[in-house]
Amino acid sequence: MQTLRNSLFLLLTAAFLIACSPNSTPEKAAQNYIDTILANDIDGLMDTLYFPDGADAEERSLVRGKLTILLAETSTRTISMGGVKDVSYSKTEYNEDKTRANIGVTIHYKREDAPVKTENIALRKTDKGWKVSL
């Protein structure tokens, strides 16, 4: 139990440090996004997302509510799988003008019979760095 607590503390600390730094590359933004999900950090997760200029507070609140539920489910699944063993990222694929990018993510869990989770992360370059486009 102490090891699990220490691991969670280290993961949360890493997520916090990553969240405080700008997402200057799509790779860093994708890693920050995954780290905030695994740390069950809704505030950090919201900071990684791209919202169009016209998005109002109500839309953001709706997204936040839905993501809070998904984070809880993800956290429960991760714990049931024994935690995360490792995360790997594919090579970044850019569009022609390098304003959008896609990165594949593969998550391996510690439990040997756990399925491997793969996701594709779409990113968009903004004035505030790279953001995840849902």
Which residue ranges in the chain fall short of pLDDT 50? Answer: 18-19
Summarised one tens digit per residue, pLDDT across range 48-80 is 999 998 888 999 999 999 999 999 999 999 999
So what's the pLDDT on residue 6? Answer: 55
Domain boundaries, the chain: 2-132
Phi, psi of 49, deg, nearest 5: -90, 150
Q: What is the pLDDT of residue 53?
A: 85
pLDDT (0 to 100) of residue 69: 96
pLDDT at 55: 85
- In this structure, the dihedral spanned by the alpha carbons of residues 12, 17, 18 and 19, taken in order and rounded to 10 degrees, is 80
Q: Cβ contacts of residue 113 below 8 Å, gap of 6+? A: none
Taking CA atoms, 44 is separated from 6, 90, 108, in Å, by: 20, 23, 22
For 2-132, CATH number out of 3.30.200.210, 3.10.450.50, 3.40.50.800, 3.20.20.210 equals 3.10.450.50
User: In angstroms, what CA-CA distances link 110 with 6, 55, 94, 126?
Assistant: 16, 39, 32, 36
